[in-house]
Amino acid sequence: MSDSQDPRQNRLLAALPDDEYTRLVPQLELVSLSLGDVLYEPGIQMHHVYFPTDSIVSLMCVMENGAAAEIAVVGNEGIIGVSLFMGGETTPSRAVVQSAGYAYRLAGDRLKEEFDRVGGRRSGAVHDLLLRYTQALLTQMAQTAVCNRHHTLDQQLCRWLLLSLDRLPVQELLMTQELIANMLGVRREGVTEAAGNLQKAGLIEYRRGHITVLDRVGLEARSCECYAVVRDEFRRLLPEGGEPQPD
């Protein structure tokens, strides 16, 4: 996994001009993230932002009674901890590692410094890039909201699989149905049924915590439009678009 050891595996970092990038690199710290690790708790002061390379992190909204739902997913296209540069310092949501891997982390005040830097000639590449990412994040949340309202579990599962897949270098997810249910905020049995449908349709293969995607195009067809909306908006707002999809 020497690939994950290159900060520029993260597409935000990769999109920075060389001078900004070289200024930041020495401050980046490679960290290994395990499934279930919690990067942020609601209301707790954050100290770092994270740039995933081959890990995936879910932003979850947790309610008083413990019920929860994923509101966005962040992989190598993004950053965890936008509130550190947005000015709020904390958020009411939780960040949980959904797929183990690596990320580079950076002290919040270091990022802020770079974010606020106007620079002699160049006008804040870090600043502009992070704001564009944040707008993409807004879109993802908005789409999640409307998706929760209108779409069936089958469709949402497809969307979720695709969004995760786009953020991984492989076509396989290590993920139990229980965990997926937690992310989507539904019953585990519901996921069992939906996943069974997809398997019967020959779109995925399931074996005890391993999901392999067999027919990506079929998944997209079965997914609600929310996946495409989010993907396209990321492509529009961020360099190199939503994903370096092979096909």
Partner DNA sequence: TCCGATATGTGCGGCAGCGAACACACACCC
Partner DNA sequence: GGGTGTGTGTTCGCTGCCGCACATATCGGA
Residues in contact with its own copies by the rule CB under 8 A: 59, 61, 63-64, 67-69, 71-72, 82-83, 85-88, 91-93, 116, 118, 123, 128, 131-132, 134-139, 141-146, 148-150, 185, 225, 229, 233, 236-237
In this complex, which beta carbon is closest to DNA, that of residue 105 or of residue 159?
Answer: 159
| Residue among 128, 84, 76 at smallest CA distance from 108 | 84
Residue 48 or 222 having the CB closest to DNA: 222
What does DSSP say about strands 172-174 and 210-213: parallel, antiparallel, or unpaired? Answer: antiparallel
**148 lies in the binding site for DNA (CB under 7 A):** no
Binding residues for DNA, total number by CB under 7 A: 22
Site for DNA in 162-201 (CB under 7 A): 176-178, 185-190, 192-196, 199
For 65, what's the count of Cα atoms within 13 Å in the CB-facing half-sphere? 2
CB of 146 to DNA, least distance (A): 12
Decide if residue 121 touches DNA (CB under 7 A). Answer: no
How many angstroms separate the CA atoms of 69 and 238, rounded? 26
User: How near is the Cβ of 165 to its own copies at its closest, in Å?
Assistant: 21
Residue with tokens 């995760």: 164
Instruction: Supply 69's token pair.
Output: 């739902």
Task: Say if residues 167 and 76 touch (Cβ distance below 8 Å).
Answer: yes
Q: Classify residue 80 by its DSSP letter.
A: B
Among residue numbers 127 through 146, which ones bind DNA (CB under 7 A)? Answer: none
Please state the closest distance from residue 183 (CB atom) to DNA, in A. Answer: 12
- Asked if residue 161 lies in contact with residue 174, where contact means CB atoms within 8 angstroms, the answer is no
CB 202 within 8 A of CB 214: yes
CB 146, min distance to its own copies, A: 4
Q: Count other C-beta atoms under 10 Å from residue 211's C-beta.
A: 22
Query: For residues 82 and 180, which CB has a smaller minimum distance to DNA in the complex?
Result: 180
Query: Among candidates 98, 84, 103, 91, which has minimal Cα distance to 7?
Result: 103
Q: How far is the CB of 148 from DNA (least distance, A)?
A: 10
Query: Which one, 57 or 180, has the nearer CB to DNA?
Result: 180
Contact assessment for residue 212 and residue 227, using Cβ atoms and an 8 Å cutoff: no
| Minimum CB–partner distance for residue 32 and its own copies (Å) | 27
Contacts to DNA by CB under 7 A: 152-154, 176-178, 185-190, 192-196, 199, 206-209
